[in-house]
Amino acid sequence: MHHIQYQKNELMVEGVAVADLVKRHGSPLYIYSAQTLIDHYQSLSQSMSPVDHRIHYAVKANSNLAVLKTLAKQGSQFDIVSAGELTRVLRAGGKAEHCTFAGVGKTDAEIEFALKEGIYSFIVESESELSRIDLIAKKLKVQAPVALRVNPNVDAGTHAKITTGTYDNKFGVNYEFVRGIYERAARKPNLWLRGIHIHIGSQITKAKPFQEAVRKMLPLVQELKDQFHIEFFDIGGGIGVVYDPALESGKASWWKKQKKPPLTPQLYADKLLPHLKKLKMTILLEPGRFLSANAGILVAQVIDVKEALSKRFVIVDAAMNDLARPSMYEAYHEIIPFKKSRAQLVSTDVVGPVCESGDTFCKNRPLPPVQQGDLVALMSAGAYGFTMAGNYNTRPMPAEILVKGTKARCVRKRQSLDDLLELETA
Ligand code: LLP
């Protein structure tokens, strides 16, 4: 969050005051820091520099065209999961040949579109998907580049809804089946066995599960390289970020108990590079959250403050439809006022206006007192924030702003009610 912080007691995104942006663009408002995206991209790329690697940013984390363009300019390539995401990459000036196409249910139309555009590789989820890709490639008279997603059966120790690498999950092909599938696929002339892929989950805060998965994969990857000349090993995304800075500063007792520092690109690289170097292959990484989470905030305005017998409710104009993570995963997002406060903290529930009790951003959290009209920022909202937003309760989607230095650009207009109703007929 280096570029989103208080300067002279006022919350700033790089060189621009949050309050000024809200004056101009209204609230709720997503604001992103371009420099933070760039710094995160560079630090990861730097840490992985001892091996030939490519960073395929997971577009699902934050797919705003300006965010994609900022990362593409740094040399980022892309992990996409739909024809829609591929279209975004192309509109942002990226190239299909720099994209891997993952996802557990690609339609024939999506496969055909990606093949015609010249995708770098499909990340294939089953043997039957391989057969469909082969048929479509035959029809188009091309060779389809493919890599199988292997489920290594490693527990990432993360939230159940975002763990993907165990046999309980719908993702990938069981490790034990992989050799047979490559052997059969090698006999299909319209398939080009280009790589192999794993992704064990998201918001993983320790290096160990990554290390375990990579170590388990090494002999298999080496074998497939020798036998089928595959050129890349995609180790997926999942690097966790710090959502609660109290943890980072070591203040929280939970973190002290762990006696471990938060996961950094350097720690991640230190654990994985000794294994990856041996392969002498191109290593692909698919980070989403690591690049964008702490590059963005969601700003909301206080609509009302309500005192109950046991607590205080702060009702803001952002809701679960704008930022789903707290209601969906009970995820922690730090909440801070736009003016630094030293007032005594009060136990507070910050809630949105949606008609569900789950529309709650935090419960019983000690926060500085705020009043109607004040602004608060929900921090670390740059990943899986806007991309998971919706129109529940007929609430228009917020605007998005990208700040670079002292310049701010509206990179997505606020949705109007007319926009929202445009596709409907009475
Ligand atoms: N690669 C694949 C195949 C994925 O499925 C994902 C995320 C990524 C890469 C990027 O993972 P990351 O580096 O961002 O952890 N909505 C949830 C997260 C869902 C992640 C889905 N897949 C959340 O808000 O926590």
3-state secondary structure 248-296: HCCCCHHHHHHCCCCCCHHHHHHHHHHHHHHHCCEEEECCCHHHHHHHE
Ligand 1 atom nearest the C-alpha of 286 is: 9
pTM of the model: 0.96
pLDDT digits (tens, 9 = 90+) for 27-42: 999 999 999 999 999 9
Question: What's the rounded mean pLDDT across residues 74-89?
Answer: 98
Question: What's the rounded mean pLDDT across residues 86-107?
Answer: 98
Give residue 262's pLDDT band: very low, low, confident or very high (50, 70, 90): confident
Distance CA 107, CA 222 (A): 31
Distance CA 92, CA 67 (A): 9
Give residue 248's pLDDT band: very low, low, confident or very high (50, 70, 90): low
Are 59 and 100 spatial neighbours (Cβ–Cβ below 8 Å)? no
pLDDT attached to residue 247:
59
Model confidence at 259: pLDDT above 60? no
Distance 213 CA to ligand 1 centre (A): 17
325 ligand 1 Cβ < 6 A: yes
56 ligand 1 Cβ < 6 A: no
CA-based end-to-end distance of the chain: 46
Question: What's the rounded mean pLDDT across residues 85-113?
Answer: 98
Identify whether 355 is a catalytic site residue.
yes
Tokens of 396: 């228009």
Distance 81 CA to ligand 1 centre (A): 11
Ligand 1 atom nearest the C-alpha of 324 is: 24
Question: What's the rounded mean pLDDT across residues 237-246?
Answer: 90
Look at ligand 1, atom 19, and give the residue with the nearest C-alpha. 162
Ligand 1 atom nearest the C-alpha of 61 is: 14
Are 199 and 149 spatial neighbours (Cβ–Cβ below 8 Å)? yes
Q: Are strands 335-337 and 296-307 parallel, antiparallel or unpaired?
A: unpaired
